[in-house]
Structure 1
Amino acid sequence: MEDFIFDHTRELLGSIVTLMMVLILRFITYKAVRKVGSISDLNEARTRLVSKYISFAFWVFAVVALILIWGVNIRELGLIFSSVFAVIGVALFAQWSILSNVTAGIILFFSFPFKIGDRIQIMDKDLETSGTYLIEDIKAYHIHLRRENGELITYPNNLMLQKAVCVISDEDLDNDGSDAI
């Protein structure tokens, strides 16, 4: 055991430093996300979800850093990763919209153009039901919108970034709930 420690002192120290940095950065980022969530009055579930995504990214970074620190042969590792990623890539091609919706959900979390409880209008000519919607919940993949007649619509997060969305204040609504133009 002493020989192993003596022979791999640099790798062990590099591993410890990497893990400590990841833990510290993860803690700081977690606190920052929580602060953004509380300042913006965002849903607690949304804040936890974004924290999980960021934590996962830090751990992926840690694994890659540890692989580089321990000097794993990049050519052999590259062959393994390329084979695995080829299979995963084919599987994820069908799931690409899910990844774009998750990414859009994270962007919406940090840009917070609207929040739960806001009344919005989506400028989408392909949307069959026009009018105003009440944002009931913002999930990782989609947003729950409630129409004035009580109908619940799920709308993908990536379309919320692609389409024009107007946040409607209470002064913009008539007494019957329709748009005042």
Structure 2
Amino acid sequence: MYLIEYLKSADSLTIQLSLTLLFVVVYIIVTKLTDRIIRRFGRKNEIALPRVVYTIKYFRFVLLVFILLLLGITWDISFEGLSVYFLSFFTVAGVGLFASWSILSNVTSAIILFFYFPYRIGDRIRIVDGDNSIEGIVFDLNMFSIVIKNEHGQKVTYPNNVALQKAIIMLK
């Protein structure tokens, strides 16, 4: 009730400042909550700390972009004027991502594998990929790939997005 009366009597600048403060507070609270949830999930499932940190950074980035969009709407930023800059940026980024689209899909796959990857560092696995099958010990799991150490001691890097599409067999 008080908030409605306040909004009716407040001028536009006061409302914008209040909403900005509210969005900043919401951003801080949500980042702390998601950090705790992701860290707890990582500890519970014995996920390596670097993977937990990558996932936290990814979620913070997505939330920051969302909050910045809300702030742009709050402050009546003309998206028509910014559209030229965004269009130029996304054109350059699109050409770069089109040439190496797997970067984005590997990061997205890393997030999926973080929450659903039944294998840990040190486990012996086989990725079934026809003639390109790989067998060895999981050496590292990062944002772009799974690193497997084969029986010859060589480290083989296997992209996350391909690992999601292939059968993975747990070996004893």
TM range (shorter): 0.7 to 0.9
Deviation at 1:164, TM superposition (A): 0.8
Q: SS where residue 136 of structure 1 aligns?
A: strand
Q: Which blocks of at least 5 consecutive residues in structure 2 are unaligned?
A: 1-9
Q: Which amino acid aligns with 1:35?
A: R
Could you state the TM-score of these two structures normalised by the residue count of structure 1?
Answer: 0.84
Detail structure 1 runs of 4+ shifted over 6 Å in the superposition: none
Q: Which amino acid aligns with 1:100?
A: S
Q: Which amino acid aligns with 2:116?
A: S
How do 1:108-147 residues align onto structure 2 when only pairs under 5 Å count? Answer: 108-127=113-132, 130=133, 132-147=135-150
Q: SS where residue 117 of structure 1 aligns?
A: coil
Q: Which blocks of at least 5 consecutive residues in structure 1 are unaligned?
A: 171-181
Give identity over the alignment, percent. Answer: 37
Aligned to 1:176: none
User: Aligned pairs, how many?
Assistant: 163
Aligned to 2:165: 162
Deviation at 1:132, TM superposition (A): 2.9
Instruction: State whether residues 102 and 140 of structure 1, in contact with CA within 8 Å, keep that contact through their aligned partners in structure 2.
Output: yes
Q: Which amino acid aligns with 1:59?
A: L
Instruction: State whether residues 129 and 166 of structure 2, in contact with CA within 8 Å, keep that contact through their aligned partners in structure 1.
Output: yes
Could you state the TM-score of these two structures normalised by the residue count of structure 2?
Answer: 0.88
CA RMSD of aligned residues (A): 1.7
1:35 aligned residue (32, 36, 40): 40
Q: SS where residue 130 of structure 2 aligns?
A: coil
Instruction: State whether residues 40 and 112 of structure 1, in contact with CA within 8 Å, keep that contact through their aligned partners in structure 2.
Output: no
Q: SS where residue 16 of structure 2 aligns?
A: helix
Instruction: State whether residues 27 and 67 of structure 2, in contact with CA within 8 Å, keep that contact through their aligned partners in structure 1.
Output: yes
How do 1:1-181 residues align onto structure 2 when only pairs under 5 Å count? Answer: 7-127=12-132, 130=133, 132-168=135-171, 170=172
